[in-house]
Amino acid sequence: MREGNRVLPYLMLLMFALLIVPGLGRSAEPGLDEDATACLGCHGERGLTVKFPSGEVLDAFIDGNKFKASAHQSLSCSACHAEFSAKDHPQRAFRSREQYSSKASSVCRQCHAEEQLKKSPVHASLLAKENKAPVCSGCHNPHTVTSVAGGKQFVSEKDHCLRCHQHAMGITLRNGEKVSLKVDAAALEGSVHTKLACFDCHFGFSATRHPKRNFNTPRDFSIAQAEACRRCHFDKYTKTLESIHYSILSHGNLKAPVCTDCHGAHTVVQARADKLKSSKRCGKCHQAIFGTYTKSIHGTALVQENNTDVPICADCHTAHSIQGAHTQDYRDKVPEICGKCHGNSTLMKKYGLNPGVVTSYLQDFHGVTLKFYQRQKDGTAPDSARKAIATCVDCHGIHDITKTTGPTTNIVKARLKNRCQKCHAGATEEFPDAWLSHYEPSLSNAPLVFLINLTYKFFIPFMLIGLILQILLHVWRYAVNR
Amino acid sequence: MANKSHVFIKRFGIGRIVEHQANALVFTLLVITGLSQRFHEYKASYWIIKTIGGVDTLRLVHRASGIIFALLIIVHVAVGIYGIMKKRWPASMMVNANDFLNAMENMRYYFGISNHPALCDRYDYKQKFEYWGVIAGGFLMISTGLVLWFPVNVARFLPGEVIPAAKAAHSNEALLAFLVIVTWHIYNSIFSPEVFPLDTGIFTGKISRERMVHEHPLELARIENVPVEEITKHHHTHPVDTGSNQGGGA
C-alpha cells in the first residue's frame, strides 16, 4: 500500500501529462473547442468502431477536418453526446445500430424544432410517416452536415440527390398510381447529360429546396417535366410545336409523345446513334406500321443486316416537326424525300441502283404537274382544284416498299396498273407501258422516243441555222444593192 | 413606172385574212401555254402559269386552242381540196420543180453570180416552205396532241410507248415551229428591208404593184396579160461584176 501510495502521484502526473500535453497541442488548431479536441484524440483515428449485439458495426471515426467545415463546428461534442465529456465515457448498451441512431437523432430536435423542420415538404412528408420516418442521421451526417444558409458545400449536386434517389423509393400520386423515384445512377452516368446537375432539369429543386409537387398522374408529371428540355434544345422544341404529336397533345390526348417518351429521361443518349433503336421507339405506339416496315426492303436491311444506309422512320417523317402523313403537303414532298437517297449517285452506286429515278419522274408529265401544284400553293389555285398525282409511294409502296426486281416485280407492276386506273379510267394492261419505268430512252429501251428526240436534236439547229443564214444573205444582198 | 408605183394588186380575200388572224392568235396561245410546260424550270414559265390561274387552267386553254387550231387546219385543207377539185382554183401552193430551181437561182443572186432574183409566181418557194411547214407540222401537232389528250384510248390499239413518243414529237415540233416563226416568218413579214416596218398584205388583202414586180413577176405578168420580160424590164437588178450603186433607185 505504502509502496503504492508512493507510486500513485507519479502515475497521476504521467496520466496528466498524457492527457494534457497532446490536448494542449491540439487546442492550437482553430475552430474546435477543447472538449472536441479531446474526443478527437481517440475518435480522430481511423478504424475505431463499435460493435452492436445485432452484429452491426458503427464506425466511430470522426473526420476532424470535415467536422471543422460543418455547420456544427462550433458545438462541443457533449452538446449532442450529453453523457460524454472529457472525463466521462460511459459504457452504453444498444441492441442495434438503428436503436442507437434513433436515440442519437432525437438530440437534433433540441435545436431543430419540429415546426421549422416541417417547412420543408420533404421533411413534412417524412415526419408524417411517424413510426416509419427515417431518423435525421439517415440522411444528414451530423458530423459533416453543412450550413443551409452558408451555401452549398457538398461535393456534387448529383451525389446530394442520389443519396436518397439511388434507393428504391416512390410516391403515390393523387390518382393513386405509384411512381418510382429511383434514379439509375449507372444509366445517368452513361447518358449524354452526365455533366448536367439534377437541378438543370428539375427546376425549383436545389440542395436546400425540395418542394412538394402535386401531380394527378404520372403522365401529367412527364408532360410537365418534358418542358425542361427546351431550355437547352430550343430549336428542337420549336420544331415539335409544328408537329402532329404536339397538335394531338394540345387537343387533349395526353398519350401523344413528349421529348422524354422518345429520348428517355435519365438515360438520354444520341438519338441517331442507333438507327434500329430509334425506329423501335416509334414502333412503341405505331406497332402495325413498324411491323410492316420491318418486312420492307429498307426495314429488312436495317433489322437483319443493321444497314444504316436505309431510311428509318425519322428520315422520312423527320424527328421533331413530324407532319401528318395524310396531308397533301406531305404527299407532295414524297419525291423530294425519296430523292434524298435515291437521287444520291454515290449511295445508289453502292447498291447498283439507278440514281436517275427521281429526275426521270420529275421531268415527266406527272412530276412536272406535281411541281407546279407545289408552287401553286402561293395562292394561284386552291388545293381542292387539284388532280391527284401519282408519286413514288403509289407504285413502290409506303411502309411496305419492295424491290422492283426479282419476285416482287409483279407487286410493283400491279400497283402501277392500279394507280394508273385510278385516274385513267379504263386503262388496259398495256397502258402502264406509257410510263418508261424511270429508264432513259435508248435504242434498246423506248427506241421510238429516243429516235424522235435524236432527230429533233439535229433537225432543229439545222433548220434554224439554215434559215438564219438565208436571212443574213438576204440582208447582205439588200445592203450591197443599195 | 412612176404612174404604176402606187397601184395595189388584190392578193387575199376576207376568208384568208380571217383565217390568218385566227391562226396567229391560236398559235400564240398554243405557244405560250405549251412551251411554258416544256420549259417548266424557268421562272417566266411559272409567271405565265400563275397569271393564267394554274397549270390545270393553262392546259384547258391549251386544249381549247388546240381544237380551234385543228379546226382551222382541217377546214383550210378541206376548202383547198374542194376549191381545186370542184371550182378549178389554181393549185398555186403546190410545190413543183420550179421552186427548187428558184431557190438555187436566188442563191446565185445572193452571192452575186446572177444579176436578178428568181422569177416567182403567186407563191415563192419561201412561202411554200412555210405554208407546208404549217400544214405538215399542224397535222403532226394535232395527232400527237390527241394521243396525249386521250392516252388510254390510244393504248388500246397502239403500244404504250407511243404516248411518250407523242410527247417527245409534240414538244420538239412545237419548239421547232416556234423558232421558225420567230425567225423566218417575223423576219419576212416585219424586219425584211423590203417590207419593213410591216408587210400589210395579210391585213389589207393587197400589196403594191412594185412589190409584185419584185416578188411575184410571173403572177403579175399573168394578171396584166403581158410577157414576163415586160414586167422585169424595170426590175431592180445589179450588174454582175460591179455590184455597186447602179441598180434602180429603191
- CA A184 to CA A267: how far, in whole Å? 9
Instruction: Closest CB to B54: pick one of A385, A428, A468.
Output: A385
- CA B245 to CA B250: how far, in whole Å? 10
Weakest mean pLDDT among A49-63, A277-291, A426-440: A49-63
Which strand (E) or helix (H) includes residue A59? strand A57-59
Say if B3 is an interface residue toward chain A (CB within 8 Å). Answer: no
Does the distance separating the beta carbons of B112 and A431 come in below 8 Å?
no
Average pLDDT over residues A60-85: 81
DSSP 8-state code for residue B207 = E
pLDDT at position A12 is 60
pLDDT at position A213 is 81
- Kindly indicate the confidence band of residue A153, based on its pLDDT and cuts at 50, 70 and 90: very low
Weakest mean pLDDT among A139-148, A201-210, B83-92: A139-148
For residue A56, tell me if it sits in a domain. yes
Residues 147-176 of B with CB under 8 A from A: 151-152, 155-156, 159-165, 167-169, 172-173, 175-176
- Kindly indicate the confidence band of residue A14, based on its pLDDT and cuts at 50, 70 and 90: low
pLDDT in tens, B127-142: 999 999 999 999 999 9
For residue A269, tell me if it sits in a domain. no
A378: which chain B residues are within 8 Å (Cβ-Cβ)? Answer: 50
pLDDT at position A298 is 95
- Kindly indicate the confidence band of residue B235, based on its pLDDT and cuts at 50, 70 and 90: low
Q: What SS3 class is residue A30? A: coil
Last residue of a domain, which of A106, A125, A148? Answer: A148
pLDDT at position B232 is 78
Instruction: Determine the Cα angle at A179 with ends A178 and A181, to 5°.
Output: 140
B245 pLDDT exceeds 50?
Answer: no
- CA A260 to CA A268: how far, in whole Å? 8
- CA A341 to CA A298: how far, in whole Å? 12
- Kindly indicate the confidence band of residue B248, based on its pLDDT and cuts at 50, 70 and 90: very low
pLDDT at position A2 is 47
For residue A88, tell me if it sits in a domain. yes
Average pLDDT over residues A215-225: 91
A11 pLDDT exceeds 70?
Answer: no
pLDDT at position B51 is 94
pLDDT at position A7 is 65
pLDDT at position A212 is 80
A105 pLDDT exceeds 60?
Answer: yes
pLDDT in tens, A16-60: 555 554 444 444 445 577 777 788 888 888 888 888 888 888 888
pLDDT at position A390 is 93
Query: Which position has the higher pLDDT, B243 or A370?
Result: A370
Among residues A90, A463, A160, A470, the alpha carbon closest in space to that of B192 is found at: A470
Is B14:B202 a contact under the CB 8 Å cutoff?
A: no
Instruction: Closest CB to B110: pick one of A460, A467, A473.
Output: A473
Beta-carbon contacts below 8 Å between A and B: 129
Instruction: Closest CB to A449: pick one of B112, B168, B236.
Output: B168
For residue A358, tell me if it sits in a domain. yes
B59 pLDDT exceeds 80?
Answer: yes
- CA B10 to CA B204: how far, in whole Å? 9
- Kindly indicate the confidence band of residue B246, based on its pLDDT and cuts at 50, 70 and 90: very low
Q: Architecture of domain B2-232 in CATH?
A: Up-down Bundle (1.20)
pLDDT at position B226 is 86
Average pLDDT over residues A420-431: 91
pLDDT at position B243 is 36
pLDDT at position A13 is 61
What is the residue extent of each domain of chain B?
2-232
pLDDT at position A316 is 94
Both ends of chain A: CA-CA distance in Å? Answer: 163
- Kindly indicate the confidence band of residue A322, based on its pLDDT and cuts at 50, 70 and 90: very high
Does the distance separating the beta carbons of A452 and B172 come in below 8 Å?
yes
Does the distance separating the beta carbons of B110 and A476 come in below 8 Å?
yes
pLDDT in tens, A161-210: 887 788 878 888 888 888 888 888 888 888 888 888 888 888 888 877 88
Domains: count for chain A? 3
Query: Which position has the higher pLDDT, A204 or B185?
Result: B185
B78 pLDDT exceeds 90?
Answer: yes
A315 pLDDT exceeds 90?
Answer: yes
Does the distance separating the beta carbons of A481 and B236 come in below 8 Å?
yes
B166 pLDDT exceeds 90?
Answer: yes
Q: How many CB atoms lie within 10 A of CB B29?
A: 17
- CA B72 to CA B231: how far, in whole Å? 36
Weakest mean pLDDT among A348-357, A432-441, B151-160, B230-239: B230-239
B27 pLDDT exceeds 50?
Answer: yes
pLDDT at position A15 is 57
Note down the domain range covering A371.
Answer: 323-440
Residue A481 cell numbers, joined = 444593192
Average pLDDT over residues B46-66: 95
Same domain, A329 and A436: yes
ipTM of the complex: 0.88
pLDDT at position A25 is 41
pLDDT at position A425 is 92
- Kindly indicate the confidence band of residue A99, based on its pLDDT and cuts at 50, 70 and 90: confident
Same domain, A371 and A413: yes
Same domain, A47 and A141: yes
pLDDT at position A472 is 94
Same domain, A419 and A455: no
- A interface mutation test: which of B52, B55, B170, B238 has the most A CBs within 10 A? B55
Q: What is the mean pLDDT of chain B?
A: 88
B74 pLDDT exceeds 90?
Answer: yes
Among residues A354, A331, A332, A335, the alpha carbon closest in space to that of A344 is found at: A354
Does the distance separating the beta carbons of A446 and B165 come in below 8 Å?
yes
CB-side neighbour CA atoms (13 Å) of B8:
9
DSSP 8-state code for residue B240 = T
Query: Which position has the higher pLDDT, B232 or B88?
Result: B88
A70 pLDDT exceeds 60?
Answer: yes
- A interface mutation test: which of B152, B162, B190 has the most A CBs within 10 A? B152
pLDDT in tens, A379-415: 888 878 888 899 999 999 999 999 988 888 899 999 9
